[in-house]
Amino acid sequence: MKIWILSEERPKPEVIEEILYLYAKQKNKGLAILERPLKITPEIINGIFQGTYLVSGAEIDGQPNVAIKIASGHSSFVDFLVYDKSENPPETDAKPVLIIEETKTADTESRNTGIFQRASKFVFVDHYYPNSKKYMLYHLSVAEQKTPTSTNTFGSRLLSTISVEIVGKNITNLARAAFTSVTELIKGRSEVRRPPAGNVPITVEHRGDAIYISGRLHKSGGLSHDPNIGALTLIAKGLRVLGWDKRIVITQHGLSQKNLNGRNKFVLIANILNIELDGLKLPVAEMPEVYWAYDTRSEKLATILLSILSLNTPGLQPIYENHAGSERGYLYGAGDDAFVVHKYVKEEKSLGNVNLPDLVIRDDNNKTIYILEGKISAKIKDALDDIKNYGPFETYLKKHYPEYACVRGVVLYGEHVENPMVFFTLTPTGKMVLDNKKAAFLQNIEAAISNFNKPS
């Protein structure tokens, strides 16, 4: 039997350890950590990457069989699904033992929206796996607030109400207490501090046969206000769990009919929970038949592999990761301190956004930092254009590493393309193509690959 962990992110040893702890606790099994940090290595046979990562340094009931594969959702997808009982990778119709969303974001960084940013994921996944144990796992790299905000407390109570357990974060007894009635939930929302004047507040009102929830959903020309999507769907889910079976209407949303389509994650959840949008006709959702699939065509397959290879290579260290535009990561300085990369050039919105790479690797042997853009091979032109725009990011990087040279390059998934800027390619068959003449760190990566390579 293997424990299979499916994720769309680069698996981190400390997070995998937490997941194994939660699994052992849930299944009443013994967990032994033999090596810290845990070691995560790619499975390579006859020089071909098998699409699986193996975990060593941990045993559950004396067995070391833990494996990781990269997956993605057909819509909103949590960070980790955990399966067991099978030697082979799980099929898409299997039921996970654990469902885990992991966040690095502290309340201090997100202006009270962090608790809601990912809440819609739990609402959506519950449609497919209502009986699987669910966790919100905080893995904080910066200090959290000593006293949680009223928004955070309200959101935490909602998560408890829908049976999501919060771990990895100091939270008050009140924040852990699930709401016990619709009336208590409405009262709890009324006690949350209002936003600044000019913003649409989230309010919950019971009038007649309906509960009205106000909240803006329109952003950047469409239905894309993630914190509010999370907040409004979590409130609605909490109301349904508490027994409210009548109308739930979203007001002051700012949307028009043209903003709605049957594949939007809010529309999917609104269909599941029977939520109405005031003044609009909700489309019938095009609900995916299964929740997830193995990822077989994303550039992150290549950038995650290169990141893990570098972690297993002396002298190399990933110091920034944002695989395929996933969760905005931290930049790690020379002392492994975490820094938030500013969103805007020189912190001035008018100067434009700081364009972010997918992966940054520090080569201590050669005092060089490699700034890497990941793309599928068909979009190599886009990659070559993107790396031209990393000046502000490189300027920020040089503040922390003034003695290091910076080199920009491209990582591809798909067919190998001959180009001076392409350093590393992972093909769909698992073949890895490295050009160590273009980037010195790849010589050490080749050595790491040979260490993991096994005959069939």
**pLDDT tens for residues 40-53?**
999 999 999 999 99
CA distance 431 to 146: 49
Q: Report the pLDDT value the prediction gives residue 436, as an integer from 0 to 100.
A: 73
CA distance 196 to 111: 12
Res. 120 pLDDT band, cuts 50 70 90: very high
Asked whether residue 278 carries a pLDDT value surpassing 80, the answer given is: yes
What is the chain's length? 456
Q: Which helix (H) or strand (E) holds 267?
A: helix 265-273
- Tell me the per-residue pLDDT of 345-383, one tens digit each, with 9 for 90 and over: 877 777 788 899 999 999 999 999 999 999 999 999 999
Q: What angle do CA 219, 235, 109 make, to 5 degrees?
A: 55
CA distance 280 to 252: 12
- Tell me the per-residue pLDDT of 287-311, one tens digit each, with 9 for 90 and over: 999 999 999 999 999 999 999 999 9
Q: Domain range holding 423?
A: 300-454
Q: Which residue matches tokens 């929740």?
A: 291
Residue 347 has, within 13 A of its CA and on its CB side, a CA count of 2
Amino acid identity, residue 37?
P
CA distance 182 to 432: 56
Does 420 reside within a domain? yes
Does 10 reside within a domain? no
For 338, the token pair is: 């975490």
Q: Are 317 and 361 in contact (CB under 8 A)?
A: yes
**Residue with more model confidence, 6 or 117:** 6
Q: Report the pLDDT value the prediction gives residue 352, as an integer from 0 to 100.
A: 81
Res. 59 pLDDT band, cuts 50 70 90: very high
Asked whether residue 341 carries a pLDDT value surpassing 80, the answer given is: yes
Q: Report the pLDDT value the prediction gives residue 444, as an integer from 0 to 100.
A: 93
Does 318 reside within a domain? yes
What share of the chain has pLDDT > 90, as a percent?
Answer: 76
Asked whether residue 455 carries a pLDDT value surpassing 60, the answer given is: yes
- The two beta strands, 422-426 and 405-413, are parallel
Give the residue among 448, 141, 108, 168 at the shortest CA–CA distance from 306: 448
Q: Report the pLDDT value the prediction gives residue 324, as an integer from 0 to 100.
A: 83
Give the residue among 227, 253, 229, 228 at the shortest CA–CA distance from 110: 227
Asked whether residue 112 carries a pLDDT value surpassing 60, the answer given is: no
CA distance 332 to 349: 24
Cα pseudo-dihedral 159, 163, 166, 171, rounded to 10: 60
Give the residue among 18, 276, 302 at the shortest CA–CA distance from 138: 18
Does 133 reside within a domain? no
Q: Are 179 and 158 in contact (CB under 8 A)?
A: yes
Measured over all CA atoms, what is the biggest interatomic distance in the chain, rounded to whole angstroms?
A: 72
Give the residue among 356, 332, 331 at the shortest CA–CA distance from 343: 356
Kindly report the average pLDDT of the chain as a whole number: 92
Does 361 reside within a domain? yes
Helix (H, G, I), strand (E, B) or coil at 250: strand
Q: Where are the beta strands (DSSP E) in 262-384?
A: 275-277, 292-294, 316-321, 330-332, 338-340, 359-363, 368-376
Does 169 reside within a domain? no
Amino acid identity, residue 43?
E
Instruction: Tell me the DSSP string of 383-417.
Output: HHHHGGG-HHHHHHHHHH-TTSEEEEEEEEESS--
Does 198 reside within a domain? no
Res. 85 pLDDT band, cuts 50 70 90: confident
CA-derived radius of gyration, the chain: 23
Does 166 reside within a domain? no
Average pLDDT over residues 246-255: 97
Please, is 146 exposed, middle or buried when counting C-beta atoms within 10 Å of its C-beta (0-12, 13-18, 19+)? exposed
Q: Report the pLDDT value the prediction gives residue 347, as an integer from 0 to 100.
A: 79
CA distance 330 to 141: 8
CA distance 97 to 368: 43
Res. 186 pLDDT band, cuts 50 70 90: very high
Asked whether residue 233 carries a pLDDT value surpassing 90, the answer given is: yes
Helix (H, G, I), strand (E, B) or coil at 160: helix
Cβ-Cβ contacts under 8 Å for 295 (sequence gap 6 or more): 8, 70, 71, 72, 301
The count of structural domains within the chain is: 1
Q: Are 404 and 366 in contact (CB under 8 A)?
A: no
For 201, the token pair is: 């507040």
Asked whether residue 425 carries a pLDDT value surpassing 50, the answer given is: yes
DSSP-derived secondary structure letter, 27? H
CA distance 53 to 39: 10
Res. 327 pLDDT band, cuts 50 70 90: low
Give the residue among 83, 131, 128 at the shortest CA–CA distance from 290: 128
- Buried b / exposed e over 292-308, threshold 16 CB at 10 Å, is beebeebbbbbbbbbbb
Res. 111 pLDDT band, cuts 50 70 90: very low
CA distance 8 to 439: 27
Res. 144 pLDDT band, cuts 50 70 90: low
DSSP-derived secondary structure letter, 302? H
- Tell me the per-residue pLDDT of 375-385, one tens digit each, with 9 for 90 and over: 999 999 999 99
Asked whether residue 199 carries a pLDDT value surpassing 80, the answer given is: yes
